[in-house]
C-alpha cells in the first residue's frame, strides 16, 4: 500500500494506521500475523520482510490498518529496506508506531526505541518473546520501563498469543489520546553515543539478568553447525535430505494428482461433443489449453508442496543465517557481500523474490552482483525439469518410490548439480568484481539470531498459501495462453509443415551444437514467461503428431524422450541449460524494477545464457571426442 492511500483513509477518521517497527529477528511478523489474522496482504515470502506488508483488524468498533515495515537496527538508513522503514515513520503517517523489541536483548533494541521517540510522540513499546526471556532468567520491570520512557509498554509472547489483547488496548489508548504521553527527551546533542549511553542506563534500571552469558545450548548447537568438519557436512547433508524428501514426496503427490486431472480429458471431450462445439474449438480448449494446464499443475505442484514447507522450516529454525556464516568465506574471496548467501537461498524458492531480497545488501556494487547472480540458483520452477531428467537419465530407472536406491542416487545427482550452480555463483561473482563491477568487499555485520522453535501450523499455512499457491497461480496464468499459442503453432500450416516445426527446423543447426534439437531450444525460448512450461512444451511438440495422453509416470516420459533421440548427453546439456539460461519474464521485470536500469537487466539475461551455451557446447564437444575412441 502506498503512503498516499493510508493518508486518504485517515481523512475518513474511521481508520487508524499503526506502524510496526523493530529490529530484525524480534518476531515482528509473528505479531503482525496474530494482529491481522488472515486479513492481510503480504507481498513477502522471503522469510524476511523486505517490502512493506499491511493488514487490518477491528478493535472496539474501529478499524486499524497495520503496516509491517522492514526490520531495522536504526533510523540512520543506509540500505534500501531500512530506508523504507525510516521514511514511513519520519514522514509522520502512522497514528501510532508500535516498536517491537526482543526481551532477550532489550538493550540493543532500546536504541531504535529512543530514535523513534525522537521523531514521534505516539509510540507503544511491545516487549516480545517474554517467554523466551523468562526461560533465560531475564527479568524485566515493564512498569519502570514505561515510566522511564514515558509511553505505554506491553509484554507479549506472540508465538503463544499472550499479551496481544493488551497490545491492542494500548494501541487504542495511545491513538485516542494524542499528546497525553510525554516521551522522554534525550540530550540536545543527538549522536549515537548518547543514545547508546541512555540505552545502557535504562537497561540497567529495568532489567535483571541472572546469567548474562550466551545461552549454553545455542552455543553448543552453533559450534556443531559452524565447525570446520560438521558445519559443511551438515549443510550438504541437509541439502541432500531436502532434495531427497522432495523427490520422494513429488512421486507420491504426482500419482495422486495426475489420475483425476488427466481422467477429466475424456469427460471434457464428451462435453464439447454434447454442445456440438466445432472440432477445432474442442481441440483448442482441451488439447491446447487444458492439457498444458494439467501438465503444469501435475508437474509443478508436487515438488513445491514438499519443498516450500521444508524450506520454511529451516528459515523458522534460524538455520539460514548460519549458512550465510559458513559460506561467507567464499563470498568474501569473490569480493561479494556475505548476505548474498541469504538472497541466494531465497532464489531456491523464486528468483524474482531473491532479487527483491537483495535489498538487504547496502553496498550498491555488491547488491548488483547478488542480483545478477541470483538466477544461477535453480528456482522451484526449474526443479521439475531437474528432477525428471535426473530420475530418467542418471539413476537408471524411473522408480523413485520411497526407500529405493534410485531415489537416493537421483537426490545425490541433484545435490551435485546444485553445488555446481552455487560454485558457479562464486566464480561469476568474482569475475564481475574483477571486471564490470570492480571494488573491494564492504564490511558487513550478520546477526545470528537464537534458534527458535518452529511453529509447524504456521509454516504449513504460510508455505501453502503464500508460496505454493502464489507460484502455481502465476504458472497457470502463463501456461494457459502458452498452451493456446503452442496449439496454434502446431496446427497452423505453412507449405505443408506446421509453424512449430518450421521454427524448430530453423533453430536446429544451432541447437545441435548444444546436443539439443530445435524443439528443446524453442521450448526454452517459449518458456521465457515461466520456466515451468519448458518440459510441457517439449512434450507437446514431440507429441503433436500423436495425442498426448497424460503424465502417468516417468517411464512413459522416458520412452517419449528416447524415441525422440535423447541420450545422456542431451540430458546433461538439458540440466546445464536449465541451470544457466536467461531468467524468466517475472525475474527480468523484477531486475528492471530493482536496478532501474535496462543495461543491468540485459546483462542479467546475457551472462547466464552465454555461460549455458558455452558449457553445453563443451559437453557436446567432449562427448564427440569420447565417441571417436
Partner 1 sequence: MLLSELKIGEKAKIINISDISGSKNDKSDKSIDKQRLSDLGIIEGTRIETLYKSPFGNPVAYFIRGTVFALRNETAEKITVEKI
Q: Enumerate binding residues for partner 1 (CB under 8 A).
A: 73-74, 76, 78, 104-108, 111, 192-193, 196, 199, 212, 214, 219, 222-223, 226-228, 231-232, 325-326, 328-329, 332, 338, 362-363, 365, 439-450
CA dist 313 and 454 (Å) reads: 7
DSSP 222-247: HHHHHSHHHHHHHHHHHHHHHHHHHH
**Residue 439: helix, strand or coil by DSSP?**
coil
Nearer to partner 1, 74 or 458 (CB): 74
Beta carbon of residue 326, minimum distance to partner 1 (angstroms, whole number): 5
Nearer to partner 1, 222 or 517 (CB): 222
Beta carbon of residue 139, minimum distance to partner 1 (angstroms, whole number): 14
Q: Considering only CA atoms, which of 592, 17, 577 is closest in space to residue 9? A: 17
The burial class, CB within 10 Å (0-12 / 13-18 / 19+), for 564 is middle
Beta carbon of residue 250, minimum distance to partner 1 (angstroms, whole number): 32
Helix (H) or strand (E) holding 127: strand 123-128
Nearer to partner 1, 323 or 576 (CB): 323
Beta carbon of residue 319, minimum distance to partner 1 (angstroms, whole number): 14
Nearer to partner 1, 108 or 134 (CB): 108
CB-based contact 288:483 (threshold 8 Å): yes
Beta carbon of residue 180, minimum distance to partner 1 (angstroms, whole number): 31
Beta carbon of residue 325, minimum distance to partner 1 (angstroms, whole number): 5
Beta carbon of residue 16, minimum distance to partner 1 (angstroms, whole number): 30
Beta carbon of residue 144, minimum distance to partner 1 (angstroms, whole number): 19
CA dist 275 and 512 (Å) reads: 46
Alpha-carbon torsion angle 563, 565, 569, 573, nearest 10: -100
Nearer to partner 1, 5 or 211 (CB): 211
Nearer to partner 1, 10 or 79 (CB): 79
CB-based contact 316:452 (threshold 8 Å): yes
Taken in order 40, 42, 47, 50, the sign of the CA dihedral is negative
Burial 508-540 (b: 16+ CB within 10 A, else e): beebeebbbbbbbbbbbebbbbbbbbbbbbbbb
Nearer to partner 1, 119 or 446 (CB): 446
> At which residue does the C-alpha cell 492511500 appear?
5
- CA-angle at 188, arms to 186 and 194, nearest 5°: 55
Nearer to partner 1, 309 or 441 (CB): 441
Nearer to partner 1, 210 or 545 (CB): 210
Beta carbon of residue 114, minimum distance to partner 1 (angstroms, whole number): 12
CA dist 599 and 606 (Å) reads: 11
> At which residue does the C-alpha cell 535483571 appear?
208
Amino acid at each position: 500500500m502506498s503512503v498516499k492511500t493510508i493518508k486518504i483513509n485517515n481523512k475518513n477518521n474511521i481508520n487508524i494506521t499503526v506502524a510496526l517497527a523493530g529490529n530484525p529477528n524480534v518476531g515482528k511478523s509473528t505479531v503482525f500475523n496474530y494482529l491481522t489474522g488472515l486479513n492481510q496482504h503480504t507481498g513477502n515470502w522471503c522469510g524476511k520482510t523486505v517490502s512493506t506488508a499491511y493488514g487490518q483488524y477491528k478493535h472496539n468498533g474501529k478499524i486499524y490498518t497495520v503496516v509491517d515495515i522492514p526490520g531495522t537496527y536504526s533510523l540512520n538508513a543506509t540500505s534500501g529496506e531500512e530506508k523504507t522503514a525510516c521514511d514511513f515513520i519520519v514522514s509522520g503517517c502512522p497514528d501510532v508506531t508500535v516498536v517491537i523489541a526482543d526481551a532477550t536483548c532489550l538493550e540493543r533494541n532500546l536504541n531504535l526505541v529512543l530514535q523513534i521517540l525522537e521523531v514521534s510522540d505516539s509510540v507503544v513499546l511491545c516487549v516480545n518473546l517474554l517467554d523466551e526471556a523468562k526461560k533465560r532468567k531475564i527479568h524485566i520491570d515493564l512498569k519502570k520501563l514505561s515510566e522511564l520512557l514515558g509511553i505505554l509498554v506491553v509484554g507479549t509472547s506472540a508465538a503463544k498469543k499472550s499479551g496481544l489483547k493488551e497490545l491492542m488496548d494500548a494501541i487504542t489508548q495511545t491513538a485516542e489520546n494524542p499528546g497525553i504521553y510525554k516521551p522522554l527527551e534525550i540530550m540536545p546533542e543527538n549522536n549515537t553515543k548518547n543514545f547508546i549511553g541512555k540505552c545502557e542506563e535504562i537497561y540497567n534500571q529495568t532489567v535483571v539478568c541472572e546469567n548474562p552469558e550466551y545461552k549454553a545450548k545455542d552455543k553448543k548447537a552453533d559450534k556443531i553447525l559452524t565447525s570446520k568438519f560438521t558445519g559443511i557436512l551438515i549443510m550438504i547433508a541437509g541439502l541432500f535430505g531436502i532434495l531427497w524428501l522432495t523427490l520422494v514426496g513429488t512421486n507420491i503427490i504426482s500419482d495422486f494428482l495426475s489420475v483425476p486431472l488427466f481422467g477429466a480429458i475424456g469427460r471434457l471431450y464428451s462435453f464439447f461433443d454434447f454442445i456440438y462445439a466445432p472440432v477445432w474449438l474442442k481441440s483448442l480448449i482441451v488439447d491446447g489449453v487444458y492439457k498444458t494446464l494439467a501438465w503444469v499443475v501435475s508437474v509443478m505442484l508436487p515438488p513445491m508442496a514438499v519443498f516450500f514447507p521444508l524450506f520454511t522450516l529451516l528459515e523458522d529454525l534460524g538455520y539460514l543465517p548460519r549458512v550465510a556464516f559458513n559460506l561467507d568465506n567464499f563470498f568474501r574471496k569473490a569480493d561479494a557481500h556475505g548476505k548474498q548467501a541469504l538472497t541466494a537461498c531465497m532464489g531456491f524458492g523464486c528468483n524474482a523474490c531473491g532479487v527483491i531480497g537483495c535489498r538487504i545488501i547496502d553496498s550498491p556494487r555488491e547488491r548488483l552482483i547478488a542480483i545478477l547472480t541470483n538466477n544461477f540458483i535453480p528456482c522451484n520452477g526449474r526443479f521439475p525439469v531437474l528432477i525428471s531428467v535426473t530420475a530418467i537419465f542418471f539413476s537408471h530407472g524411473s522408480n523413485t518410490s520411497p526407500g529405493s536406491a534410485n531415489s537416493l542416487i537421483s537426490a545425490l545427482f541433484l545435490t551435485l548439480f546444485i553445488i555446481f550452480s552455487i560454485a558457479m555463483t562464486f566464480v561469476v561473482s568474482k569475475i564481475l568484481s574483477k571486471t564490470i563491477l570492480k571494488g573491494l568487499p564492504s564490511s558487513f555485520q550478520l546477526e545470528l539470531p537464537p534458534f527458535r522453535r518452529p511453529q509447524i501450523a504456521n509454516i504449513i499455512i504460510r508455505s501453502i498459501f503464500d508460496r505454493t499457491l502464489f507460484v502455481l497461480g502465476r504458472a497457470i496464468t502463463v501456461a494457459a495462453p502458452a498452451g493456446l499459442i503452442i496449439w496454434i503453432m502446431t496446427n497452423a500450416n505453412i507449405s505443408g509443415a506446421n509453424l512449430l516445426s518450421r521454427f524448430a527446423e530453423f533453430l536446429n543447426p544451432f541447437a545441435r551444437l548444444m546436443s539439443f534439437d530445435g524443439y528443446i531450444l524453442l521450448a526454452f525460448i517459449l518458456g521465457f514467461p515461466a520456466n515451468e512450461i519448458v518440459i510441457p512444451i517439449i512434450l507437446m511438440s514431440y507429441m503433436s503428431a500423436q495425442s498426448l495422453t497424460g503424465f502417468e509416470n516417468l517411464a512413459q516420459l522416458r520412452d517419449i524422450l528416447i524415441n525422440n533421440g535423447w541420450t545422456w548427453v542431451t540430458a546433461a546439456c538439458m540440466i546445464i541449460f536449465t541451470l544457466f539460461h536467461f531468467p524468466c519474464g517475472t525475474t527480468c521485470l523484477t531486475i528492471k524494477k530493482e536496478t532501474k536500469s535496462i543495461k543491468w537487466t540485459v546483462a542479467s539475461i546475457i551472462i547466464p545464457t552465454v555461460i549455458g551455451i558455452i558449457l553445453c557446447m563443451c559437453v557436446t564437444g567432449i562427448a564427440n571426442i569420447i565417441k571417436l575412441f
